[in-house]
């Protein structure tokens, strides 16, 4: 899978660097100095964020209608885009397009048409609960360094201590007083906020939601980034996972006790798997996750060599064909030199071919039979003679007249 590294000097190149299709992998831009850092970066729906570099967030996509960006999304695999349900209340799959591999909006676009939009059936537009949607594309995405899938966390509750270095990414307004969409993709480093803490600020918070930002104010998501990804690094494999989908927040983005609210993705992994499978293009998390394949390779190296008989537990393994020298089928048995012995009989391994019974020559058997027959004939003749002697017949005399 994707084990290669991308040369930072080639950022933005669409050359396939044999990174494979594994999710959550990207070139490491974190230590590269940003360009134009002297300009005012209090911008974008990513309030107080900074500009992203080409290929830095390759799973992020722009969802557009009438050639204009209005929501964000992320690549799950070659066929599926993950976004927020509230982005598609008044939209049809015919009018929605997805731009992939984009960092800066320009005339040259790679747009993907949408076949079907699957919003969660329990989505509540009043409470913004179950705010998640899946977009099935008409044609698959061809991956390269600018277009890659994101990993999804395991289904269930989110363990906050397992995640670090979280970013929200998107094209948004410069600040909450300016709703103009930025042309350049932006990123903002945020912190995950515990549910109980955030519930004190937002009473309508549900267990399907996640808060991220800064308690004292700072970089956050704002109008225009709805549906975009909140991604974090997983401590166990170092890959990027989408833990949240930008859903809603206060008008005053980035202020004290006003974090952004996200759909908690881990609560909807099973729904994602079931929905994609029912549509005929299944999303399989383990096939996407690069770290699992790497772990499997390490386990295979540690395991001893297996054989065809290794299915029986705790039994010594016996080779299929034993390395035993050939043994004649019949040995050490005296035979008549005039009669050929039975030889060259195939032997099945582990089973004797011929039991240890002496071999009787055919000529000897014939001789014995002949002797017995002659003895019987002699005996019969003797008995006949004795019978005649014991019963003599009267003399044959002729009477004269």
- In the three-class reduction of DSSP (H, G, I as helix; E, B as strand; rest coil), residue 159 is classed as coil
Known active-site residue 221 = no
| CA distances (Å), origin 4, targets 17, 22, 168 | 7, 11, 25
Known active-site residue 164 = no
Spatial CB neighbours of 132, under 8 Å, sequence gap ≥ 6: 82, 83, 84, 85, 119, 120, 123, 245, 263, 265, 268, 271
Question: Out of 131, 247, 266, 291, which one is annotated catalytic?
Answer: 131
Instruction: Find out whether 131 and 123 touch, Cβ atoms under 8 Å.
Output: yes
Q: Where are the beta strands (DSSP E) in 17-102?
A: 50-51, 60-65, 68-75, 80-83, 96-99
Question: Out of 226, 258, 266, 291, which one is annotated catalytic?
Answer: 226
- In the three-class reduction of DSSP (H, G, I as helix; E, B as strand; rest coil), residue 47 is classed as strand
What CA–CA distance (Å, rounded) separates 83 from 99?
13
- In the three-class reduction of DSSP (H, G, I as helix; E, B as strand; rest coil), residue 227 is classed as coil
User: What is the dihedral sign for C-alpha 199, 88, 231, 179?
Assistant: negative
Known active-site residue 131 = yes
Instruction: Find out whether 173 and 182 touch, Cβ atoms under 8 Å.
Output: yes
What CA–CA distance (Å, rounded) separates 253 from 263?
17
Region of 335 (left: φ > 0; alpha: ψ -120 to 50; beta: rest) is beta
∠ Cα 184 227 17 (to 5°): 60
Which residues make beta-bridge pairs with 184?
104
Nearest to 220 by CA among 51, 46, 84, 60: 46
Spatial CB neighbours of 290, under 8 Å, sequence gap ≥ 6: 1, 2, 20, 22, 23, 24, 25, 237, 239
Question: Out of 69, 86, 120, 214, which one is annotated catalytic?
Answer: 86
Structure tokens at 73: 């999304």
Q: Please measure the distance between the N-terminal and C-terminal CA atoms of the chain and give it in whole angstroms.
A: 138
Q: Annotated catalytic sites, by residue? A: 86, 131, 226
């Amino acid at each position: 899978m994707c084990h290669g590294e991308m040369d930072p000097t080639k950022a933005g190149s669409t050359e396939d660097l044999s990174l494979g299709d594994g999710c959550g992998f990207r070139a490491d831009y974190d230590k590269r100095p940003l360009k134009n850092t002297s300009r005012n970066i209090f911008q974008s729906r990513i309030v107080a964020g900074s500009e992203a570099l080409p290929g830095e967030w390759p799973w992020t996509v722009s969802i557009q209608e009438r050639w204009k960006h209005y929501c964000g999304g992320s690549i799950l695999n070659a066929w599926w885009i993950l976004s927020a349900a509230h982005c598609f209340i008044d939209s049809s799959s015919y009018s929605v397009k997805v731009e992939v591999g984009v960092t800066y909006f320009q005339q040259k676009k790679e747009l993907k048409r949408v076949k079907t939009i699957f919003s969660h059936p329990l989505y509540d537009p009043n409470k913004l609960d179950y705010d998640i949607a899946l977009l099935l594309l008409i044609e698959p995405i061809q991956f390269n360094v600018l277009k890659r899938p994101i990993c999804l966390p395991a289904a269930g509750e989110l363990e906050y201590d397992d995640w670090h270095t979280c970013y929200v990414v998107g094209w948004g307004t410069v600040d909450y007083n300016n709703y103009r969409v930025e042309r350049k993709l932006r990123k903002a480093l945020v912190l995950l906020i515990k549910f109980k803490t955030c519930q004190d600020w937002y009473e309508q918070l549900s267990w399907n939601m996640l808060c991220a930002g800064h308690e004292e104010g700072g970089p956050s998501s704002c109008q225009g980034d709805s549906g975009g990804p909140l991604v974090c690094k997983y401590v166990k494999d170092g890959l990027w996972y989408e833990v949240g989908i930008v859903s809603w927040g206060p008008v005053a983005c980035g202020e004290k006790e006003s974090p952004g609210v996200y759909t908690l993705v881990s609560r909807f992994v099973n729904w994602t798997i079931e929905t994609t499978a029912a549509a005929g293009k299944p999303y399989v998390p383990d096939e996407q996750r690069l770290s699992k394949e790497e772990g499997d390779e390490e386990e295979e190296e540690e395991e001893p060599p297996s054989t065809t008989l290794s299915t029986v537990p705790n039994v010594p393994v016996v080779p299929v064909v034993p390395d035993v020298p050939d043994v004649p089928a019949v040995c050490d048995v005296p035979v008549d030199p005039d009669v050929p012995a039975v030889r060259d009989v195939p032997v099945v391994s582990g089973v004797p071919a011929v039991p240890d019974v002496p071999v009787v020559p055919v000529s000897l058997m014939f001789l014995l039979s002949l002797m017995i027959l002659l003895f019987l004939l002699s005996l019969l003749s003797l008995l006949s003679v004795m019978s005649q002697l014991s019963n003599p017949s009267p003399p044959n005399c002729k009477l004269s007249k």
